[in-house]
Amino acid sequence: MSVKEITVDNLHDIRRGAEEFLEYVSSPQIDSNVFAFYGSMGAGKTTFIKALCEVLGVKDVVNSPTFTIINEYQSSKGFPVYHFDFYRINSIKEAYDIAIEEYFSGDGLCFMEWPEKIESILPENTVKVYITVKPDGGRVISIR
């Protein structure tokens, strides 16, 4: 897979960035439902995942699952969207305890924050998404 970059200039532009992201990852060249979001604290991982959920038609309030590890939502098309935050886990065992493999092999989309914590068990076809902050405060979203 080649690298795709999406630039989001500000919060008002984030929906367009989320739409472009979802259009790109739904193309035949992307064969994965697992998306690992990398970025420093405050880079906008949660904010971008919230925008993705909005574009997917999620009606629930989307919050970071920092303390619960996972939040489950329903898209407007009826498939589940799973939002993981591994920031607070201390071992791979904790990921296995929530039956992570079942989510990865299921029909839903898996959006993960802090995937570095479980890197060794990510599926081979995981789409890696890097969010970097530009000097002007915008964001560059690199999909690999």
Is 41 strand, coil or helix? coil
pLDDT in 10s for each residue of the chain, 144 residues: 568 999 999 989 999 999 999 999 999 888 999 999 999 999 999 999 999 999 999 999 998 898 899 999 999 999 999 999 999 999 999 999 999 999 999 999 999 999 999 999 999 999 999 999 999 999 999 999
CATH at residue 114:
3.40.50.300
Tokens for 132, please give them: 């970097």
Q: How far apart are CA 14 and CA 46, in angstroms?
A: 12
Write down the pTM of the prediction: 0.95
Closest CA to 131 of 60, 25, 46, 65: 46
Residue range(s) defining the domain that contains residue 89 = 4-143
Query: pLDDT digits over 78-106, tens only?
Result: 999 999 999 999 999 999 999 999 999 99
Q: Provide the number of structural domains found in the chain.
A: 1
Amino acid at position 111, single letter: F
